[in-house]
Amino acid sequence: MYIANEKRYEEMKYNRCGASGLKLSEMSLGFWHNFGTNSDYKTTEDIVKCAFDNGITSFDLANNYGPIYGSAEERFGEILKNNFLPYREEMVISSKAGYDMWPGPYGEGGSKKYLISSCNQSLKRMGLEYVDIFYHHCPDPNTPLYETMEALAQLVRSGKALYVAISNYPLELAIKAKMILETEWNISPILNQVSYSILNRENDDRDNLFLGLENNGIGTIVFSPLAQGLLTDKYLSGNIPENCRARENKFLSESDINEKMVKKLNALNDIAASRGQSLTQMALTWILSKQNITSVIVGARNKEQLSKSLSALKTKRDFSAAEDKKIIEIASL
């Protein structure tokens, strides 16, 4: 029987989600790619145990995570049932709906029918009575924002979600969503989940997104902080290892590992080395050094990869103006 590490809360930092009372571990575990039918149960179980033993309490899922769709939630449900039922109240479990999930006109988007049905399915797959956070995964221009927010409010009022959040929302739309939820149902979205890394800084310049969210009482949680594995030591040699994301993932291709990218990664690695860090550690602490980031979501193929990410929390996270400038200059090449 699994018994959690008694010292799991001693080193992890916990940040408040916007203006809510909920706190997230500053590092969250994401289940995007490596927890579906293609994963080994024991390996994934070890990853979740490692996360919890090191103070990670935030677990990020979605209806279509896998592969195949739904299988990440099913696998997580197995792991919960076999290990974590005594610790359920110490965990923040999130799910989402918005992208395609099943065939036909009701299997994606922001309609009330899709979001309510999807949440019900997610709860069943994970064996839960409620999720702590339920997200609308992406804006849907074909559904009135009011209807989407009404669906989120209904999930809270029915007890199927404790909090609601949004994902991939630009600032103006996030503020509109918040206004609707607060005005109509006295509910606020507590987070906006966005992609962000040293190599992907769109949100730095997009309407001052992070600061704008903070000023409106909405936290920011970041996914893909390692840019699909680019910001690790995996590709520094220019070679592409077997069983890596560049060989098997539509979000990163072998053509991305070109001479220009390898040169850029090595230049960033040199800065990390000068700071006494690995490239992974620097990439994560660079994000965590920003004042308005609630949590950063990391993925892992195995316990060793997760441990490398966790090690960043024990390294320096202050960046001089010169270091920050150089990092951005290199990343922009």
pLDDT-above-90 percentage for the chain: 88
pLDDT of residue 250: 62
Range of the domain at 203: 14-228+286-317
Query: Where residue 155 sits, what CATH number does that domain have?
Result: 3.20.20.100
Q: What secondary structure, in 3-state letters, does the chain show?
A: CCCCCCCCCCCCCEEECCCCCCEEECEEEECCCCCCCCCCHHHHHHHHHHHHHCCCCEEECCCCCCCCCCHHHHHHHHHHHHHHHHHHHHCEEEEEECCCCCCCCCCCCCCHHHHHHHHHHHHHHHCCCCEEEEEECCCCCCCCHHHHHHHHHHHHHCCCEEEEEEECCCHHHHHHHHHHHHHHHCCCEEEEEEECECCECHHHHCCCHHHHHHHCCCEEEEECCCHHHCCCCCCCCCCCCCCCHHHHECCECHHHCCHHHHHHHHHHHHHHHHCCCCHHHHHHHHHHCCCCCCEEEECCCCHHHHHHHHHHHHCCCCCCHHHHHHHHHHHCC
Q: What is the pLDDT of residues 149-186, one digit of tens each?
A: 999 999 999 999 999 999 999 999 999 999 999 999 99
- Return the structure tokens found at 187: 């509910």
pLDDT at residue 246 greater than cutoff 60? no
For range 246-271, the mean pLDDT: 82
Q: How far apart are CA 113 and CA 102, in angstroms?
A: 13
Count of structural domains, the chain: 1
Note the pLDDT of residue 248. Answer: 60
Please report which confidence band the pLDDT of residue 239 belongs to, taking 50, 70 and 90 as the band edges: confident
- 61-66-70 Cα angle (round to 5): 70
Tokens 């996360």 identify what position? Answer: 51
Q: Is residue 194 part of a domain?
A: yes
pLDDT beyond 90 at 206: no
Is residue 306, in this structure, part of any structural domain at all? yes
- What is the mean pLDDT of the segment spanning 202-230? 91
Q: How far apart are the C-alpha atoms of 48 and 38, rounded to whole Å? A: 17
Residue 144 domain flag: yes
Mean pLDDT along residues 70-82: 97
Q: What is the mean pLDDT of the chain?
A: 94
CB 315: neighbour CB atoms within 10 A?
A: 15
pLDDT score, position 208: 84
Q: Which of 104-113, 122-131, 216-225, 238-247 has the lowest mean pLDDT?
A: 238-247
Instruction: Please report the pLDDT score of residue 12 as a whole number.
Output: 98
- As a whole number, mean pLDDT of residues 214-239 equals 93
The tokens for 49 are 């145990």
- The reply to whether 332 falls in a domain is no
User: Does residue 236 belong to any structural domain of this protein?
Assistant: no
Q: Note the pLDDT of residue 193.
A: 98
Q: Is the pLDDT of residue 249 over 80?
A: no
- Mean pLDDT confidence for 309-320: 96
Whole-model pTM: value is 0.95
- The pLDDT of residue 99 is 98
In this predicted structure, the answer to whether residue 254 has a pLDDT above a threshold of 80 is no
Radius of gyration (Cα) for the chain, nearest Å?
19
Of 185, 173, 163, nearest to 141 (Cα)?
173
Query: For the segment 15-41, what is each residue's pLDDT rounded down to a tens digit?
Result: 999 999 999 999 999 999 889 988 999
Domain assignment of residue 259, yes or no? no
Q: Would 28 be classed as within a structural domain?
A: yes
